[in-house]
Amino acid sequence: MPELPEVETVVRGLRAPLVGRTVRGTWHDWHKVIRTPDAESFAARIEGQTFRAVNRRAKYILAELDDAILLVHLKMTGRLYVTPHDAVHDADRWVHFRLELDNGHQLRFSDARKFGFVALTNDVATVTAKLGPEPLTDDFTPDVLKSRLAAHRKGIKALLLDQAFLAGVGNIYADEALHRAGIHPLRAADSLTDGEIVRLHGTIRDVLNLGIDREGASVSWYRKPDGTTGEAQNHFLVYDREDEPCLTCGTPIVKIRAAQRGTHYCPQCQPGLVVP
């Protein structure tokens, strides 16, 4: 599933072709792709509205219109791109939703697994209210992370994947952040020392910023809005490197399960569990 860096890259790639464009029509071929309101009301409400901004909250894309917000979640295989009306792309075979724009282009939503969705709302809090803090904002400090960790005994990897704990971090960047911080993925969250918390806070922000700089990780379905791949996958230290030597110490990378997700770590750089 695309994580914060991938969604941020999509948002940045959509701003130029979308902002200032007016919706002239809608199309969909799968009833669940439009989550709210119903399809007829959705079409009546969005047609004639102009895109004013494109932003992100966690893994949600928030496209601001004159009098509503188009909310999109890519889920596992979603792709969102603007293209000329008559252009043909490989991803078009899975397009289940389109918006016709006033300049002869379309906003297309392709989703092979059909888990993603779009919604039209005036109150994004109905969807985002339970999300945790944004990890790249100034408000997310080591003290904030410490106070949130103190309330949890579950494994730190599982906690980082919980969007109610911290918004936008997923499997890839959790593995990378924990490795850089030298923390075992199964450590109890409330067992981390002050020094480890400060390191983890820094590495979470570092790996997310590096992911954005490299325009996301194209390890599966993710592509940028222009159809090209990101570069982050070429710089992983542990993720998807099972049995390969650690780039720091040479120890083979191990893959285990944490929170039902494949989890990669170095047993030398990220030593075993600490029981509080």
Catalytic residue among 6, 17, 59, 187: 59
The one catalytic residue in 3, 8, 176, 215 is: 3
Pure H helices in the chain: 4-18, 39-46, 125-128, 142-149, 156-161, 171-181, 194-213
Known catalytic residue at 3: yes
> What distance in Å separates the CA atoms of residue 129 and residue 132, rounded to the nearest whole number?
8
One of 57, 146, 214, 261 is an active-site residue; which one?
Answer: 261
C-alpha dihedral sign at 186, 189, 193, 194 = positive
Contacts with 203 (C-beta within 8 Å, 6 or more apart), sequence order: 176, 177, 178, 180, 181
Q: Which two tokens stand for residue 85?
A: 């009306």
Number of alpha carbons in the 13 Å side-chain half-sphere of residue 17: 20
261 is catalytic: yes
Per DSSP, 178 falls in state: H
Only one residue has tokens 């893959």, namely 255
Which amino acids are annotated catalytic? 2-3, 59, 261
